[in-house]
Chain A
Amino acid sequence: MKKILLVEDEKMLGLLYEEELTKEGYTVIVVHDADSAMEKVKSEKFDLIITDIRMPGKDGIELIASIMGMRKDIPIIINTAYQSYKDDFMTWAADAYIIKSSSLDELKDKIRELLKDK
């Protein structure tokens, strides 16, 4: 089973994504900040990482930079409420940039696409 690390500071949204992605047949680990995400990446193996950008403490962009410095092979999806970070070149390092929506179809499609070759 493919394993996804989800970084989302809003607890209820984390729950929603966890349930919906589990239903799709993935194993989902949810953390609420960048530091916990880094710990997980160091100790476990993931097939995909989904992260928000604006979070208390370290933001998603810093997280991406740290992960890229450690493991370049994990695909990363940015899942955020902000359109504006698209202009930040650091976000270009991610494999996809998705604006949060109450329909999770786009997110699900993107995950399927990125995990296809794995």
Chain B
Amino acid sequence: MIESYKLQPANFNPDTPKEFVLLSIIAQSFFQPFSLEDNLLVILTALTSGAGIGFNRAMLFLKDGEKLKATMWLGPRSPEEAEAIWSMLSSPGLGYAEIVEHNRDLVIRMMESLQPKLKSFIYSLEDDNLLLPALAAKKQEIMLVTEAQSDPLVDPNFLDFVQVDSFLCLPLVAHDEVMGEIVVDNGITHAPITRKDIELASLCALLAGNYIYTTHLYKKVVEMEKMAALGEMAAFVSHQLRNPIVAIGGFTQQLLKSPCNPEKCYRNLNIILDEIKHLEEIIYKLSHFLKIKIKELLPIDFKPILLGILERPDIKAKAKNKTISIRIADEAPLILCDPVYFEETVVNLLDNALDVTPPGGRVYLRACKKNKKWLTIIIKDSGPGLDKKSLEKMFSPFYTTKENGIGLGLLFVKRVMEMCGGKIEVQSKPGHGTMFKLYFKAQERGQP
């Protein structure tokens, strides 16, 4: 017998220890589309809710440069408020998403009055006489403070704000780097902080530290990708636009400098005009190919579209002296895509295939039902095939093997395929032509 369970359990067995439930909830929250702040709020909630570890209050500090700044404080201000929150949070059937939602409101409401005071807690980690709570982050040690009022290592301003005598400092550390700190206390109930509390809290801090670290890394990667794309773009602009501009400039200077016979004047002006048209074409293709937006995937009947493509004048002109062999499987399903983008995708590949196929050669266009899920459209040419370098670079923006190409066609095809949830495969060998296989999601006729 085989039983299946959800990847992320939502309901826990009543016998499951609450510590396990807590850690599971924190781990799951990292997979939710929550912001960094919301996920940290989940951890603060776990530390403070009665169903969790049960500290009364938690304050979050985040590291910004070499400074440790107080950012968020979660917890009731009075025993009455505490009771209301805890009874609300321990009501059965309440998911952590609701708890986070509730706590977000709470934090926002609290922050309004506490914000100015809270924001004044900024500690420099480079300070040689750093006091607690920030000292724990600097030392990267979990520190339990008791009898705080009489301890010279505790910042009196901080004590004045939290009004407690004992608190626990949990540095958030990942890869030997301080990410922040969480300070928890039992300022309402004044219950002592136990060894078990510290052990569990340290696990939460570990998770929080790693989570902040990963979020920073992710942001960096996204930024780097953006920069790389920008770099490619800049390279494109300098090459593709510079060539026509140099030609326009050069031929204009010829007109200005040397006495020109009418014939040469006319020729130069025509070249200039052609180059300007080329520039316009580049600009059009750029905005057209890079701005692909498929709002809604529609089930489309691709057969008439494919047949229509073969009647297009541009394709017909290119297919002169060549044969396009088309075969479409009987009872082909519908495919999920956008009809306009689908046509342009096939036209792009067919156009390439015709370009490299020698006169007298054949281009094959096939539509086959792969299985229930996929329908494949295959376009194969009889050209020279691709070498390793072209195969590696074919989808890179602005890579082209055509004299007047701008190197966006295949990138366009790839992006359309991604947007409609399909995939693309390429097989090519020098001397054996190139085959593109497009996988579209299939939908049986008559089904929603």
- Chain A residues within 8 Å of B, Cβ to Cβ: 9-13, 15-16, 19-20, 32, 54, 56-57, 80-84, 100-104
Contact = CB atoms under 8 A, between A and B. Distances in A.
15 contacts: A9-B403, A10-B247, A12-B274, A12-B275, A13-B250, A16-B251, A20-B250, A20-B254, A57-B401, A80-B239, A84-B235, A100-B243, A101-B246, A102-B246, A102-B248
Max count, chain B CB within 10 A of own CB: residue among A9, A11, A56, A82: A56
A103 B253 contact: yes
A74 to B, nearest CB: 24
B246 A13 contact: yes
B238 interface: yes
A13 B249 CA distance: 10
Contacts of A81: 238-239, 242-243, 246
Max count, chain A CB within 10 A of own CB: residue among B247, B249, B253: B247
Q: 5 closest Cβ contacts across the A-B interface?
A: A102-B249, A81-B242, A81-B239, A16-B250, A12-B247
Interface of B: 235, 238-239, 242-243, 245-254, 271, 274-275, 400-403, 405
Nearest to B249: A102
A17 B279 CA distance: 20
A19 B253 CA distance: 12
A102 B238 contact: no
Contacts of A102: 245-246, 248-250, 252-253
A40 to B, nearest CB: 19
A11 to B, nearest CB: 8
Grouping DSSP codes into helix (H, G, I), strand (E, B) and loop, the B interface class, with mixed when no group exceeds half, is helix
A82 B250 contact: no
Contacts of A103: 249, 253
A107 to B, nearest CB: 10
A100 B250 CA distance: 11
A20 B254 CA distance: 9
A13 B247 contact: yes
A101 B253 CA distance: 12
Nearest to B264: A19
Contacts of B248: 102
B246 A100 contact: yes
Given A56-B401, A57-B401, A102-B248, A12 B271 contact: yes
Contacts of A15: 271
Given A12-B251, A101-B249, A102-B249, 7 more contacts: A9-B403, A12-B274, A13-B247, A16-B246, A16-B250, A54-B239, A81-B242
A83 B246 contact: no
Contacts of A19: 254
B402 A10 contact: no
A10 B238 CA distance: 15
Contacts of B251: 12, 16
Nearest to A52: B243
A100 to B, nearest CB: 5
Contacts of A13: 243, 246-247, 250
A100 B242 contact: yes
B139 to A, nearest CB: 44
Nearest to A15: B271
A15 B275 CA distance: 13
A81 B247 CA distance: 12
Contacts of A57: 401
A80 B334 CA distance: 48
A82 B253 contact: no
A54 B238 CA distance: 12
A19 B257 CA distance: 13
Contact of A16 (B239, B247, B401): B247
A100 B244 CA distance: 11
Given A12-B275, A19-B254, A104-B250, A56 B243 contact: no
Nearest to A19: B254
A56 B400 contact: yes
A57 to B, nearest CB: 7
A26 to B, nearest CB: 16
A102 B243 CA distance: 9
Contacts of A82: 235, 238-239
Nearest to B241: A81
A10 B159 CA distance: 74
Contacts of B245: 102
Contacts of B250: 13, 16, 20, 102, 104
Nearest to A100: B246
Max count, chain A CB within 10 A of own CB: residue among B249, B250, B401: B250
B200 to A, nearest CB: 53
A57 B400 CA distance: 9
